[in-house]
Amino acid sequence: MQPLTKPQNKYWLTFGLCALAAALMFLPFYVVDGGIFLYAGDFNSQQIPFYYYANEFLKSGGGTFSWATDLGSDFWNSYSFYLAGSPFFWFTLLFPAAWQPFLMAPMLVLKFAVAGGGAYLWTRRWVKDPNMAVLAGCLYAFSGFTVYNVFFNHFVDVVALFPYLLWTLDEAVLKKRRGPFAVLVALNLLNNYFFFAGQVVFLILYFVCMTASGVYKWNGKTFGALAAESILGCGMGCVLAWPALLSLAENPRTVDPFSGFGYVFYSKAQQYGAILYSLFFPPDCPYMPVIFDEGVIKWTSMSAYLPLMGMAGVIAYLRCTQKTAFRRILFSGLVMALVPALNSAFYAMNSSYYARWWYMPILVMCAASVQALEDERIDIKKGVRPTVAVLLAFCVFAFLPVEEDGEWSFGVIDYPEKFWLNLGLALLGVAVFWLLWVQYRRRPLLARRLTAGVLAFGCLYGITHISIGKFAQWTNDAGWRTQQYEDARALGETLPEGAYRIDDYECYDNVGLWMGKSCLQFFNSTVAPSIMEFYPQFGVKRDVRSEPDLEDYALRGLLAVKYTVTPVADAADFEEKAGDDWVYWGAEGSLAVYENQYALPMAYGYEYYVTEEQFEGVPENQRANLLLRAVVLTEEQIAAWGDVLQPLPEDLLGGFSQEAYHQDVVDRQIQGAAQVSLDSRGLSARFNLQKETVALLAVPWDPGFTVTVNGEETPVEKVDGGLCAVRIPAGEVDLRLDHFTFGLDQSLAAAGASAVLFAGYLVWHRRRKARRAWAKPLPETTIYRKEN
């Protein structure tokens, strides 16, 4: 396989075709939802509110600390995985925050178009006919992986940018072009550090396979230039990645090692069936697998389906070629997908299963498919027949006998109607592909007709896929979610100013983001690690979301929860469960608000402390009550602060009734800050106390915090398994808690230095190239003389 010159550039044609088809795919949902695209799950609960909140946060002064993110978290670390480095997100800042819910689908259209254009750009090098590269671009843009990951939205950003990275690598090796590779490395790292780790692994695999196949021919200078650009690109793009890495190192979710057979075998046999299924069938809804329900199937982005063609082109290519680079890459990718430890190499060897790296071999699958169409030596029938055979073979799952409680039935398919629909779509696609190939093979119109078929089929199965996920939640979301977004925004302006938190009961996820308030119910997996450490102490699970039960009344007092928001329809139920501590405050549209009669300020002092052993000896459901009487200190902290705090008397280590809770809250209020204010850079508090004490700041501890007390810097300690505490003197005290993203100064310095070095690198290469041009001898010329 040798690179070919490109006489035509159809990038913008591909871009436009993908944009048009994507717009048509989302149009029905725009009509149904009245101008806004609502989907399901993470898209509605995270992607829409995240885009709205981040836009509002940056335009209202920015800073580094987001109070509305769970109990409060570093803004950049919390959102760099989702959107903070994405060029698509930064483009949306041109528009008001209130427009963000209405821009989600247009931005997806743009991402599909950029993905298709990038795939065209990379594939064009490896085909003779530019129209075949257009076809490959459309296959990639509407692959099952891309359509599936509309659910996650920000994953599509990665799909869109990756082909450009691969194209610049080819340019660097094959054309000796210097500069673009480093820029795309930086852009992809800045866009999403999590996916970039997998891209590094794939680029190494790609480079090795291309070299082994003789496509890449390089020397020490070429390798040195690649190494330099890789390092400089990582340096320029590490602005958000380095602080996030420091934060993730403290996150317990990132530590999940393999053990024993887990390195080589998936624990459930159905995982292998699901992988095979995902190659041949249009993708299942992320939260609703059709056949396989054992293993890790849901939300894994497991889909490698190519619209219309399915695996026909890929299989034909693999059966009819030998020792090509693409063949090596695809077989290597298949092995890595089937071996857990190799699959996890794309995720820093974490044993949690994901297939979120598949978009990279999918790009190669698209190129292999169009090469199979273009090469007359490849018999497409050798791909169509196995594809149809595998599709039909899956019908056996509809007839397997099942015995349960003495009763026999047939079929192990959870959603038979969805299976038959997916099977019908897959067979229809292959049938149309076969008919088009038979009619137009060896004719110039083949690529154009197939492109039209892929785009039409991409719209069809894309609408079907999104509809299955969307309308399964339709009765829950229809109309009410949009109304709640609007009412929450209005409520954020109606609630009193001040430093407090809110809670919600039976509201949609992340309603606090719409109000700009810290909320106990929160859905984001990259919040401050101290939150992950804090909640489990009280029996509250904290993995991807925070959701303390309503019965944890003392936890709400401890964390300064002043208001609870609930849909008006659920208000009576809330009143019955919450009890007399909460009184009706008012309502805003569909949302009712209740005020906590026992709310603490976000900063208050203590007389007593308990040891970690004493704290652990109290039942989980009573530990929040204990923390209203005493602060939990380590041995080192006791040695430092024991002169201003007393050990909690033994008789106060129990007796945790709700009446006692009320008195404990009053005791803390007496030592509470007279005034507390919050901003995007930290917290300010004013105390007036009778004696020196230790003040708890109900804020998740972060290494980026610094504290000044009356203008003098004072150590801030982590107490209570995740919160902040400071020693303060008696009398009038002005306390300031400032935040700056830990590691950001280092990453900014590295990025700046890398940018300067990269500029020097480009200047050096340009001058070197110019010197070589001047050193070349001038071409000989022949002077013709007229004979006399």
For 553, the enclosing helix (H) or strand (E) is helix 553-558
For 389, the enclosing helix (H) or strand (E) is helix 381-393
Query: Could you tell me what percentage of the chain is helix, strand and coil, using 3-state DSSP and rounding each to the nearest 5?
Result: 55, 15, 30
- What was the pLDDT predicted at 510? 96
Count how many Cα atoms sit within 13 Å of the Cα of residue 286 in the half-sphere of its side chain: 23
Separation between Cα atoms, residue 80 and residue 747, nearest integer Å: 14
Strand segments (E) across 283-350 = none
What is the gyration radius of the CA atoms in the chain, in angstroms?
Answer: 30
- Do residues 631 and 609 make contact, with C-beta atoms less than 8 angstroms apart? yes
Residue 782 binned pLDDT confidence (cut-offs 50, 70, 90): very low
Residue 281 binned pLDDT confidence (cut-offs 50, 70, 90): very high
Count how many Cα atoms sit within 13 Å of the Cα of residue 721 in the half-sphere of its side chain: 17
Q: How many Cβ atoms from other residues are within 10 Å of residue 737's Cβ? A: 23
Report the phi/psi class of residue 133: left, alpha or beta, with left for phi > 0 and alpha for psi in -120 to 50. Answer: alpha
Count how many Cα atoms sit within 13 Å of the Cα of residue 455 in the half-sphere of its side chain: 24
Collapsed DSSP state (helix, strand, coil) of residue 108: helix
**Which two structure tokens, joined as six digits, stand for 1?**
């396989």
pLDDT over 60 (residue 787)? no
Strand partners, 723: 700, 719
Complete DSSP assignment for 336-378: HHHSHHHHGGGGTT--S---TTTHHHHHHHHHHHHHHHH-TTS
pLDDT over 80 (residue 781)? no
pLDDT, tens only, 151-196: 999 999 999 999 999 999 999 999 999 999 999 999 999 999 999 9
Complete DSSP assignment for 401-445: EEEETTEEEE---S-HHHHHHHHHHHHHHHHHHHHHHHHHTTSTT
Q: How far is CA 191 from CA 60, 154, 502, in A?
A: 23, 9, 32
Q: What is the mean pLDDT of the chain?
A: 94
Strand partners, 682: 679, 738
- Do residues 609 and 641 make contact, with C-beta atoms less than 8 angstroms apart? yes
- Do residues 605 and 677 make contact, with C-beta atoms less than 8 angstroms apart? no
- Do residues 637 and 612 make contact, with C-beta atoms less than 8 angstroms apart? no
From the list 600, 728, 736, the residue with the least C-alpha distance to 679 is: 736
- What was the pLDDT predicted at 515? 96
Separation between Cα atoms, residue 67 and residue 519, nearest integer Å: 9
Length of the chain measured in residues: 788
Q: How far is CA 110 from CA 44, 87, 160, in A?
A: 19, 11, 9
Separation between Cα atoms, residue 249 and residue 176, nearest integer Å: 38
pLDDT, tens only, 711-723: 999 999 999 999 9
Average pLDDT over every residue of 664-682: 95
pLDDT, tens only, 549-585: 999 999 999 999 999 999 999 999 999 999 999 999 9
Separation between Cα atoms, residue 295 and residue 297, nearest integer Å: 6
pLDDT over 70 (residue 277)? yes
* Interacting residues of 383 by C-beta distance below 8 A, sequence separation 6+: 311, 312, 313, 314, 315, 316, 317, 319, 372
* Interacting residues of 775 by C-beta distance below 8 A, sequence separation 6+: none
